[in-house]
Copies of this chain bind each other. A is one copy, B any other.
């Protein structure tokens, strides 16, 4: 550990479970300390001294005790009672080995409005704390009765002028109010006792409700935490970088992955060029190498699913160009799109692996490891070439590779495949062609508990940026959407999650995975695919009647879309996203042909309800008994 390295901490309130489970999760993720939330202690039978030992065993300290609420009071009787209450908490802190008490600005009606009087009351508390070797970190809650900005809390702390009284700065309370954090840099570093970091999505909502339910780890939301952190570090602050995130989802998720995700957020927040040179975590993180596209997608298939997939690929102009030399894996190609069918899967089709083309696969892998991505054993790869893989939050394997189509045997992953009869590995196949250029994007439904984690994962590990977020009112419940892509739009992911689905009402239909294939002429491509027997989705006439009412399209274009079942998402300036999907192939996977007009950046989400209803009809037609 370098002397300049900042400590990391996490509030126990970020995680789910018993105190023991929270501590284990935090320690396993590599945190140096915790903020101990009072409720976690109260519900636990371990005496405070034992909690200290448990933390020590795990290599951690208790860096903050919180929250102690509503201390100051205009009612002298209550003020005295609060002081007695504080002494009890000092006993607890001493046993815990925690030297700093978080004191939030009061939200009570009897809060002291006068800043000098407030400073005096806090000074008395600081005296008592100092006598016990403790100190008070005073924080302005965004909804405090009188004190609700960091400028106010700093004025009060300055007025008090007590060495045992300093500030706690919380990014949520500063940024949620739209406050400018610049003036933070002018506060002396030794008066900043504690720093709490939290991100949040942009929402138009009462700030208390927003704070208590929707906070996120840095990098998952839309706050400018880089600037905030830079302002704080300019003060000379050298305490921990501590995460305090109240989030309904994390509160009920497995604390192990959640703590890892939390650590990942700090690693990304502190990496160059964001970090100040003096203040780094001690992990060396290579910058994300440039991505050149999606090398391949692997779909695991059982016997029935394999037949359905192979038929669909063939109809979409793919050719089976290669067979793996030792594994039951087929390589299918069309243009620059490569799909592996792994026939060894015991279950209905699912996307099991995604491989990105990296200009430096080794650096990509090192970065992934530094970002706490779980490294997968090499033998899990569909090929035998030595390519690195990590597990994404939804369990998909993520490979980093460089596809060299001119490689000789033994060089590059394509060399693991022997040419199929009549095929030529790496040449886009030799079957009947349907003008697919490459994989446009991959649609991945995320497990509910891991949606925000996935954003941070792909952002930190691959360097993808979140593009759009939204909600779709689908026939069987709301779907949340998030698109992520590299700056060059060579690698795109379309992530979705069912917001509330318990999963019994529309199995499969609400949670499909898909591979979108880019064409330059979707009408031609779908015509060809249908001619070859592709089971493309039929789209209702009602959709096209409405499209005609909404968008002025040439009559023959509209006729083609209508006849072929192509959905049309229009955007300003003549841009559009056109897409047509196959039926669900063996369960929850489908293939999609797409065309982007005018480089439209969309994903057709507005039409997802129409697509889902069509998938449901297809499914009901095959299995009428639901």
Contacts and interface: CB of A to CB of B under 8 A. Distances in A.
Interface of A: 13, 16-18, 38-39, 41-48, 81, 84-85, 88-89, 92, 203-206, 208-209, 248-249, 251-254, 448-449, 473, 475-478, 498-502, 505-506, 538, 540-543, 545-546, 548-550, 552, 609-610, 612-614, 616-617
Contacts of A477: 16, 248, 251-252
Contact of A16 (B39, B88, B475, B498): B475
B543 A43 contact: yes
Given A209-B204, A549-B89, A43 B478 contact: no
A208 B39 CA distance: 34
A613 B542 contact: no
B541 A47 contact: yes
A245 to B, nearest CB: 13
Contacts of A542: 41-48
A253 B549 CA distance: 32
Q: Output the residue of A16, A42, A550 with the most chain B CB within 10 A.
A: A42
B448 A502 contact: yes
A205 to B, nearest CB: 5
A168 to B, nearest CB: 21
B17 A475 contact: yes
A158 B610 CA distance: 39
B42 A543 contact: yes
Nearest to A41: B542
Contacts of A16: 475-477, 505
B38 A546 contact: yes
A449 B545 CA distance: 35
A201 to B, nearest CB: 12
B42 A610 contact: yes
A355 to B, nearest CB: 30
A505 B255 CA distance: 10
B476 A85 contact: no
Nearest to A51: B542
Contacts of A41: 542
Contacts of A500: 248-249, 251-252, 448
Nearest to A81: B552
**Complex A-B, nearest 7 residue pairs according to Cβ-Cβ distance, in ascending order:** A252-B477, A204-B206, A88-B549, A43-B613, A45-B540, A43-B610, A85-B549
B478 A248 contact: yes
A206 B475 CA distance: 25
Contact of A475 (B43, B45, B204, B609): B43
A193 to B, nearest CB: 23
Given A205-B209, A545-B88, A478 B540 contact: no
A504 to B, nearest CB: 9
Contacts of A85: 549-550
15 contacts: A16-B505, A39-B609, A42-B540, A42-B610, A43-B475, A43-B543, A43-B614, A44-B540, A46-B540, A85-B550, A88-B548, A204-B209, A248-B499, A251-B473, A252-B477
Contact of A206 (B81, B205, B501, B552): B205
A5 B195 CA distance: 64
A84 B48 CA distance: 73
Contacts of A253: 505
A39 B251 CA distance: 35
Contact of A252 (B249, B449, B505, B548): B505
A473 B246 CA distance: 10
Contact of A505 (B17, B209, B505, B616): B17
B251 A478 contact: yes
B502 A45 contact: no
A62 to B, nearest CB: 14
Given A42-B543, A42-B546, 17 more contacts: A17-B476, A17-B506, A38-B546, A43-B542, A43-B614, A44-B540, A44-B542, A45-B541, A47-B542, A204-B205, A204-B206, A205-B205, A205-B209, A251-B477, A252-B478, A252-B505, A448-B500
Contacts of A46: 540, 542
A441 B203 CA distance: 39
Contacts of A449: 502
Nearest to A253: B505
Contacts of A84: 549
Contacts of A612: 43
Given A16-B476, A206-B205, A505-B254, A613 B546 contact: no
A248 B501 CA distance: 10
A10 to B, nearest CB: 16
Nearest to A500: B252
B609 A43 contact: yes
A85 B551 CA distance: 9
Contacts of A204: 205-206, 208-209
Contacts of A48: 542
A106 to B, nearest CB: 16
A454 to B, nearest CB: 17
A476 B253 CA distance: 8
A473 B39 contact: yes
B613 A18 contact: yes
Nearest to A606: B39
Contacts of A47: 541-542
A591 B347 CA distance: 44
A253 to B, nearest CB: 8
